[in-house]
Amino acid sequence: MEIKKTLLTIGIILAAITTQAQKAPTKLYQEPYRLQAHFSPKEKWMNDPNGMVYYKGVYHLFFQYYPKATVWGPMHWGHAVSNDLIHWKQLSIALYPDKLGYIFSGSVVIDKDNTSGLGTKGKPAMVAIFTHHNPKGEKAGTSTYQNQSIAYSLDEGTTWTKYKGNPVVKNPGIKDFRDPKVFWYAPGNKWVMTLATKDRITFYSSPNLKDWKKESEFGRMLGAHGGVWECPDLIPLKLNGKEYWALLVSINPGGPNGGSATQYFVGHFDGNKFTPTSTETKWIDHGPDNYAGVTWSNTGNRKIFLGWMSNWLYANETPTVKWRSATTIPRELSLKSAAGDIWLTSNPVEELENIVTKTINVDAGLLAKDNNIFSVIKQTPTQYRLKFNTQAVKDYSVILSNNAGEKLVIGYNAKNSRYYIDRTRAGQNKFNKQFASIAYAPRLSLSPTSDFELLVDASSVELFADGGLSNLTGIYFPKIPYTRLSIVNNGMEIEDLQIQPLKSIW
Residues that bind ligand FRU (CB under 6 A): 47-48, 64, 75, 104-105, 131, 178-179, 230-231, 292
With a CB cutoff of 8 Å and minimum separation 6, the contacts of 250 are: 196, 229, 230, 231, 232, 260, 261, 262, 263, 291, 292, 293
* Nearest one of 30, 84, 25 to 504, comparing CA atoms: 30
Instruction: Tell me whether residue 445 or residue 473 sits nearer to ligand FRU (CB atom).
Output: 473
Find out whether 388 and 496 touch, Cβ atoms under 8 Å: yes
Among 150, 201, 141, residue whose Cα is nearest residue 175: 141
**At its nearest, how many Å lie between ligand FRU and the CB of residue 231?**
6
Q: Are 492 and 394 in contact (CB under 8 A)?
A: yes
Report the distance separating Cα 376 and Cα 10, nearest Å.
15
Which CB sits closer to ligand FRU, 138 or 353? 138
Nearer to ligand FRU, 179 or 422 (CB): 179
Nearer to ligand FRU, 101 or 267 (CB): 101
CB of 104 vs ligand FRU, minimal distance in Å: 3
Asked if residue 167 has a cis previous peptide bond (ω within 30° of 0), the answer is yes
Q: Which is nearer to ligand FRU, 52 or 400 (CB)?
A: 52
Of the pair 128, 342, the CB lying nearest ligand FRU is at 128
With H, G, I as helix, E, B as strand and everything else as coil, classify residue 343. Answer: strand
> Pick from 496, 498, 491, 501: which is nearest to 365 by CA?
496
Whole-angstrom distance, CA of residue 303 vs CA of residue 315: 27
CB of 493 to ligand FRU, least distance (A): 43
State the Cα–Cα distance between residues 42 and 333, nearest whole angstrom.
28
Residue 174: CB minimum distance to ligand FRU, A: 13
- Between residues 224 and 292, which has the closer beta carbon with respect to ligand FRU? 292
Residue of 435, 471, 429 lying closest to 312 (CA atoms): 435
Q: Minimum Å distance from CB 488 to ligand FRU? A: 36
CB of 236 to ligand FRU, least distance (A): 24
Instruction: Phi first, then psi: give them for residue 447, nearest 5 degrees.
Output: -70, 145
* Dist CA 249 CA 230 (whole Å): 6
Give the catalytic positions in this structure: 48
**Residue number with CB closer to ligand FRU (124 or 223):** 223
**Strand 242-252 with 261-269, pairing:** antiparallel
Minimum Å distance from CB 232 to ligand FRU? Answer: 10
Integer Cα distance of 102 and 365 in angstroms: 59
SS3 201: strand
Tell which residue, 94, 78, 11, 8, has the closest CA to residue 368. Answer: 8
Question: Can you state the percent helix, strand and coil of the chain, rounding each to 5?
Answer: 5, 50, 45
The torsion of the CA quartet 469, 474, 478, 480, rounded to 10 degrees, works out to 50
To ligand FRU, the closest distance from the beta carbon of 142 in angstroms equals 18
